[in-house]
Structure 1
């Protein structure tokens, strides 16, 4: 045990990473060489404090701002006795420049030694602004020594570990991370053309993408810098350019942003005074090292919509008395007399143990396909828990997703608890050539019948689900198969498609009798990038067709649905649909136009005709079929649907994806016969708002 000194810093805070022992010698200024050993450490501190105080000049911009705070300087004394700045934390560039200048004026000293050998020593200096005369280093320190280490214990000062944490300027590390990019068609349209160049070896069907997947083709940092507004004030930077809170350190980072969706509108045919959405929330993204990333979003919302959308939301309401399920969001409770309160949360934790594999534990949605719709796995449902494995190598990407879903119908609810069902899917994407991609899909849904729980027969990522499902019992499981493709004609034109088989009878196909058992659907589409040589103009044309009874099952509990919504196409089954889309952006401005024309087949349910015509996937297809052959698309209460949607807007903040927009939607819904569920209507819906665009919210029902 021996005594040493440590400085009581009231104005200058001084901590050291160097350790003092009988074998270690502090750096020495020439004026400190005559000091006794116990005073040499104190002399070093006092000399550097006085030197900085004497030579430091605070710039006029700092003085005029009446700034009060600290400059933190991390520096070292190398083996030649030269002072070198390692890092400076200061709110003004002039303070950083002045700190560097002062340290360059410091004379060389005798370097620190350890066991007689010259060594590096690191220190942290805290400079108070405005400058104040430093105090003298004179307090006593108790030294505790063991066989492996020497530790200074200061009887008059707290530990410096907390203050020694070094923060770096936030350099948007998410742009190079393995974190997911929140999926919306509008957001992904910005880099869609670059990902679909001829010769690229990526896989665009499985969404959402990660930043590092896209960064190979799209320079997030350059685009972000070019879009920044010149704002000096803190409020200006945070509103127009930056994350609200952003922290980056050694190997970690996180960012926090508010979530807003504030919109007001009017359905001109409605008796309600207006439509509105009032969403507040928070989104957190982060990374720990290069392998682990995470994100979470929490929303609290109230809203009232156009009459047709309110009617659809109430038609899929859950058991238990709540009035509606907001499509894509979740169960809603009543707000006031004619509006809804609908909270939502999403989360994702992603671990990447190697360049070939990443594992995701999430609560959200997934999407498979290159089109506006997906017949294989869409994102129009409420969020759900899932576990996903992505394996990428050579020309292959293999995606395994395991999902926990809910059936919220009255018939499936016991003692107030919704029924749980499980889903597992495989999707193999193969770049067969530099232009052609082929995807193979299989999926199985099963229930907890006989306390079956999560059946580990389906955990094996390489197994063929249809055979396992049949062996486990085809009545408590439902398997579907699918095929997808994409062909790059050139860098401007891509063709894509999907084919889904829910059930298929070869004999009936050969007889050409349009059997109800031939349950399949298909999609064909084309994208035209930089259309007609207009930079950033995307034109898209897509046709979707799904036969009656697709996605349904003999046991409705094992259908292809979740929370009374389809896990495939948003319209369920028994329809044909043509979609035309135009997207354009320039800088922060954007415009989207969409036209949908379709024919859908609904049930009559009018007391005299209660047949199941195959559009409602939550009905048992073994009962109430009107016929077994001659089954055609849009059979039953044939309804023509036309939707035209135009949106223009401006990206307010790229960091939080906050957009201001105006929207107008025209909808014509013309059924053959009006029933309680199919009411003829013509809707004109105007909206303006401010929204954090984080996911696809579909209003085209």
Structure 2
């Protein structure tokens, strides 16, 4: 059978099966502002929901009172204002095919008032991001989303140092440097979501995931760069039980031998992820987590895929291999409890082995404090030395030199406090971090990148304040003004950042520059 014929058969299969399902299969963007509104609805209501593994399927959520999905009752008199303030830019709406196309951009300009480099008086801190997002639905069972970005940036000194060291913009793409301390990089997201029968959803794409109910995760975070993946999701017991299996392809940014090709490939590794979630009561959710990082390259070259990587049952690989096997295994528990109206208590435990390599999280969130949409959060995170690392460095719990859990990797302790508020289209946030991190030790996730001569425990204090307005909630287009104060010190050496910025952007995804 030719590839063209196979393609048409698959397309017809998706079209025909798409006529039998009953809901859109889009996923909710990994955006903290949207997630806060979903969590608020669950805390204030009595509907059972699984919130532990994100991105969430929109078909499994009540989005009636979530800001981006609320009906806009404002009366507009011109087509241009409708497009600017309410609708998607381009819309196709046919009986069995729907699609929207919108521009994506992040135009950010600012200044670091504490910059002591030679560029302090001349260089603007900026990001110039241009892109587009295409979203569509075939029938009722197939949805697709595609995002592509091209970026140029000049970052504050602490981010520039990070990028020079790890060769990647945090959570985004590999870099190509131009001019002085300016970077060109791109990133892309995309997936197809298919629900052949109501309990089963299958996704194939290029993106990232988050396990947890807090700001950070010690199990799996969206702070690292995107990866290709195949994911299956199943719900049972009338929605009380959810089960997810995912296989993802990771890379290390270390090259294989070049051979005869113009540019050698990066060393690869595989990730199998399993998550079993149970909601016995609308106010209680418990999840079991397992992740295995598989070796794909050894001294003899690229290894063939092991059949065990595709076993779709949680716990089997850990039971067979144990915690100290050649492939790196991480086990965990994730939970939330809503003991009182408007209150959520949550936490995580990550177990790397039985010799003290652990990570854990404890947090509390309060919704609608004193007034609607005023939310408070307090969170504690910690990981001991060597957690997520592996005997073989390539098997560490990382992707593109970035931790798949907390951005600081291991050997850290952190407290986060946050206040969020929204009134109609206006929003504001104040967030504070205190982070203690043991630097330059053998337990690091990427030991080949440790800078010698800087051991000790660093302390980072961050205050991040932002206020803005949503121009178009549907596209998440917003304008904001923000200020980030960051103070880092270690063994008598310190560095300060006072970054004022103005941003016009479509904020569909989280960015983590707070480490």
* RMSD across aligned positions (CA): 2.4
Contact 2:111/2:500 (CA < 8 Å) preserved in 1? yes
Q: Which residue pairs with 1:287 in the alignment? A: 137
1:459 equivalenced with 2:296 (yes/no): no
Q: Per the alignment, do residues 190 and 576 of structure 1 end up closer, same or farther by CA in structure 2, a change over 3 Å counting?
A: same
* Deviation of the 1:458 alpha carbon: 2.4
* CA–CA separation in structure 2 for the residues paired with 1:439 and 1:222: 28
Equivalent residue for 2:80, pick from 227, 235, 243 = 235
Which piece of structure 1 moves more, 434-443 or 589-598?
Answer: 434-443
Q: Aligned partners of 1:588 and 1:308: how far apart in 2?
A: 32
Report Cα offsets for 1:101-152 as digits up to 9, x if no partner.
Answer: xxxxxxxxxxxxxxxxxxxxxxxxxxxxxxxxxxxxxxxxxxxxxxxxxxxx
- 1:683: Cα distance to partner? 0.8
Query: Given that residues 37 and 67 in structure 2 are in contact (C-alpha distance below 8 angstroms), is that contact kept between their aligned partners in structure 1?
Result: no
Deviations 1:187-223 (A, max 9, x none): 2222321123464321001101122222366467972
1:542 to 367, 370, 379: 379
Q: Identify the residue that residue 657 of structure 1 maps to in structure 2.
A: 476
Alignment correspondent of 2:13: none
SS at match of 1:352: strand
Give the 3 Å change call, closer, same or farther, for CA 413–439 of structure 1 in structure 2.
Answer: farther
2:48–2:283 CA contact under 8 A, matched in 1? no
If asked which structure has higher relative contact order (CA below 8 Å, sep 6+), I would say 2
Alignment check: 8 A CA contact 2:380 2:414 kept = yes
State yes or no: 1:574 paired with 2:411.
yes
Which stretches in structure 2 are left out of the alignment for 5+ residues?
Answer: 1-21
2:53 is matched with 206
Measure how far apart 1:235 and its partner are: 2.0
Distance 2:69 2:224 in 1: 35
Matched, 1:278 2:119: no
Indicate the residue corresponding to 1:393 in structure 2.
236
CA distance in 2, matches of 1:453, 1:560: 20
In the alignment, which residue of structure 2 is the partner of 1:681? 495
Distance 1:287 1:218 in 2: 23
Post-superposition Cα deviations, 1:159-194, rounded to whole Å, max 9, x if no partner, equal xxxxxxxxxxxxxxxx96220121111222223211
Mapping of residues 88-237 of structure 1, within 5 Å:
177-197=24-44, 199-215=46-62, 218=65, 223-226=70-73, 228=74, 230-237=75-82
Residue aligning to 1:700 = 514
Question: Who is 1:108 aligned against?
Answer: none
| From 487, 493, 497, the counterpart of 2:347 | 497
Quickly say closer, same or farther: Cα 1:218–1:177, change in 2 above 3 A: farther
Structure 1 Cα separation of the partners of residues 500 and 77 of structure 2: 36
- Do 2:34 and 2:66's aligned partners in 1 also have CA atoms closer than 8 Å? no
Report how far residue 269 of structure 1 moved.
2.2
Matched, 1:617 2:462: no
Count the aligned residue pairs: 479
Partner Cα distance (2:222, 2:32) in 1: 11
Tell me the equivalent position of 2:12: none
Describe the SS at the equivalent of 1:372.
coil
Residue aligning to 1:305: 155
Q: TM-score, normalised by structure 1?
A: 0.65
Aligned to 2:489: 670
Check 1:546–1:370 CA distance in 2 against 1; reply closer, same or farther (3 A cut).
same
The answer to whether residue 429 in structure 2 is matched with residue 592 in structure 1 is: yes
- Name which one, 1 or 2, has greater alpha-carbon Rg: 1
Name the counterpart of 1:474: 325
In 2, Cα distance between equivalents of 1:613 and 1:577: 21
1:655, CA displacement in angstroms? 2.1
SS in 1 for 2:158: helix
* In structure 1, distance between residues paired with 2:69 and 2:53: 26
Q: For residue 474 of structure 1, report the CA deviation from its aligned partner.
A: 2.0
Name the CA distance, whole Å, in 2 between partners of 1:224 and 1:277: 32
Q: 2:8 corresponds to which residue? A: none
| Compared CA separation, residues 413 and 346, structure 1 to 2 (3 A) | farther
Distance 1:478 1:433 in 2: 34
Distance 1:662 1:220 in 2: 20
Q: 1:44: which partner in 2?
A: none
Partners of 1:256 and 1:545 in 2: CA distance:
42
Q: Is the 8 A contact 1:302 1:335 kept in 2?
A: no
Cα contact 1:447–1:453 (8 A) shared by 2: no
Q: Which residue is equivalent to 1:376? A: 219
Task: Note the alpha carbon deviations across 1:250-290, whole angstroms, 9 max, x for none.
Answer: 12100000001001000112234210010111100000011
- 1:178 and 1:266 map into 2 onto residues whose CA distance is 41
Moved over 4 A (4+): 219-222, 412-415
Instruction: Give the deviation of 1:240 after TM superposition.
Output: 1.4
Quick check: 1:578–1:597 contact (8 Å CA) kept in 2?
yes
Counterpart-to-counterpart distance in 2, 1:216 and 1:390: 20
For residue 396 of structure 2, what is the aligned residue in structure 1? 559
User: TM-score of the superposition, structure 2-length normalised?
Assistant: 0.88
Q: Residues 613, 637 of structure 1: CA spacing in aligned structure 2 closer, same or farther, 3 A cutoff? A: farther
Go from structure 1 to structure 2 and tell me whether the alpha carbon gap of 1:424 and 1:221 turns closer, same or farther (over 3 Å shift): closer
